Structure 1
């Protein structure tokens, strides 16, 4: 009887997800990039209980300008001819909102790929060419993306995010604000980067003590949906020792299912899809 009541309670939550999470992200912030696998795991295990909204925040204008100036210096000091590039301040942030105009999931795919380009591949994400390639990589309609990039709709969406961050007094990145279905309750804000268990504890408290996690998918299935990831992130997601995950990944490497990618920010694994 107890099992049936828990099953019925979960079914109710799935129909009317009682928790709303606002995840504030600065695409240039390393800690925001490190939060990404934690959010992914929360969505896999507890996505039946909450909806999620990604909100752009941080001093994006200054960061864009800084990246732009650094890139100009690199081009000035380089004797190697490079492909034609067009750099625009603020474009990296607004491009995320342009991607979201093609759907919420499309926007999330674009944001994750944009962070991969910055932190794993050291690309200049203020470069219009890089943004266009990012959109193409995640399957967006590139013509529509470029139109939206310069549209008032994307600009207004970006300004709405800035207003939300101001109203919720979000200053430190990353940050998550939790709301439950009781509108009289204030939101619960957690700023900074914490362990996965902390976020689960907060979610459990917001749900009145009841959560029933969904099982994690098999490792290779997860890799097929998240083709670039570090051993450390996988160890957190699967709650396994680092060395255990490293051995599993090396085994997949021998099977030519993954390859190791070395970057300035550490090493990552890239999943190799089966050829059709």
Structure 2
């Protein structure tokens, strides 16, 4: 089956439930040594990093994790947000817990919570992306949207479009007619797009039907197969074979994962 970047059809073999809101898992990772150590050792005085933990590094004067949280909370397709932070990132955990306690009127410049959206903070395993993702999925169940905290240009429209594609994409039929929930969906971008933007390419998800290498965005929906190797782990390099379906989005906002000082510079320039 070839990869397609075409508008979704209006019909689907697996229709979404009456209430299409699903939980979101926000994976905040750990300290982010590839970014923070490089800023300290290689880019002294040129890249301003205010915190010792990557999710709190600012883009457009807001922590990256707050930007991703805003996209999730503003999305019509998300019913709750479960933020998972490493025990190696205590300031991130403290920040998330503070955000969870605040009302939209108290911190309008930070996140703000839409009516009916809960933010639940979980301490991760400390064993990395895959272990944290598996534990979170066991807690929230499937389907669940998953996203990494180093995708600061993410918008609510990206989230809603991904959930819609999960339920109604042209490849849903390949999941099998006996499934009530489709297979997992991995959102990826052409690796060439990342290179043109000047951001790093640290992992690939095979190639499209034209042979172009694809890179993960860190935005996915975990479905019936429970796929857990479809993200953008801060410490993992190399090719991956994702367990479910791919959706190719040639969108610069989804191509900017902040892992290195150059990535941070690009993200700040595009706000």
| TM-score for both structures, normalised by structure 2 | 0.29
- What is the TM-score with the length of structure 1 in the denominator? 0.29
Which structure has greater strand proportion? 2
Greater relative contact order: 1 or 2 (C-alpha under 8 angstroms, separation 6 or more)?
Answer: 2
Larger Rg belongs to: 1
The structure whose residues are more often helix, as a share, is: 1
